[in-house]
Chain A
């Protein structure tokens, strides 16, 4: 790493620049360091706590070739490699499956405590409609991210905490670096790198609200705000599946927390207001099926007047199962679970857990080739696969690939000073306004539009109106005033969120069918077999483009 102080700001040069220090960024950093690259990680929060894994995680997806026929690479690839997934068998095998043992070894070294049977083998459970028992259970998962972070720092990655990236830079069609600023001090940063890995997080939850009305009271990390889509889109990267990857879950009524995977996979039964267990109507694997089916099913019951309320019944669990789930796995997924249940007076073994459909989480992914590189030369994606396992493994594989590419043909580009000056001006403009709109009003209005038109039932007219209104909201972007650096950070987050919402709406408008995503279109209620492929979007010469098919 080389740091140069200039009048404009700090210039940081490195081999591999990793944007975002969540699970994917951490995996990428460890791998790139092990490949011998000089590594800089940039994170707007702090490595130890950022990303969805920062809130804890109680399950780790691991196919180990150790058990029955479902514990194989073949079964794994078959499950994940669908026409709409955008992933190839090679990508899944090399980028995720083969990395699992490497990541497991790292986690074991960092003393992540996987639950084990008496014979020493891992406790493994099934979920998400997967054919095998692919989940290892983590005890004390609330410290998982800290343990990973310890490894990242020990490997010698240079971590820039509290730095927000606001713009990617291209030189001669290749990615060359990025611009950003320190969110606590306002220091301006210019990063130059041979290769860049985008690990900014592909879930965006703060754009809609659950029944609590608090947009930060979310299931996934509310501080992941869509830069993963907004920044690469701006430089022409292709993005896929923003229409069908969108997802929701069930959360304890009024409280944004993960945990449904543990609850479902241990045998939780969902009941409607009539006390009926209904999920069999919507998924052959009942609650343990696809999450989108559980959400669609619950929503259907709601439309039919059979709820709210909805409940999860775990009273039939053995005392030991209920205890492990409530007091070990759940706090591992969300460290404050015990306080919440105790303040609400919930005991899994004794009470029904009231649940609701969570806020909608925007999702999608950058289109990548088998080495996880995007269509922009030198720009890799670490956030390719789902869950903490997919993030760590995919990030790791992207780290390996980026480091090797940097070694073989990497070179540093130049930073165009004029671009940097303009960006610095843009970044800090909200601080200079004497009067204007608060970030809360700006991002709150985005949610108003998304909650109203982009919910679990949609139609063409509604989505067109949503887009129109999102574009109208954007005319206010220059009026957002920030009184301090905290407000400035939230302002930029709001702008990212806005972009993610626009891209999602633009994509959804073009998928004229229902059944592949968590929502349904009332104007196209059925599956269209011709649309059994990813919808890809990108920007070319400032214009929105789309195509069907990932490659």
Chain B
């Protein structure tokens, strides 16, 4: 077991430092690149916070949908292959809901401010 502070606390602290203390003294292209870097750290912080729970739920859904055990990567490969071969489609029970839930979980980490995501959060 690793010690504290947690990775999430560390990435958050570094991002806040860059945002509050460093960003104001930079300009031009370096300021732009720093903004991108801060966005990357914020993404990592969200992933550290959310990934464990969403991965666990995704694994349960995939195992049920495919009727087989496996790792997240294996099952996602298997699902993508079935869809590509036409053996699973939007009529397959549970498939559309699974894709929606998985995609919403990705957006919560990648781009929680994306307008389509915010719209779908409200219309579930």
Chains A and B bind each other? no
Which residues of A line the B interface, CB within 8 A?
none
Which residues of B line the A interface, CB within 8 A?
none
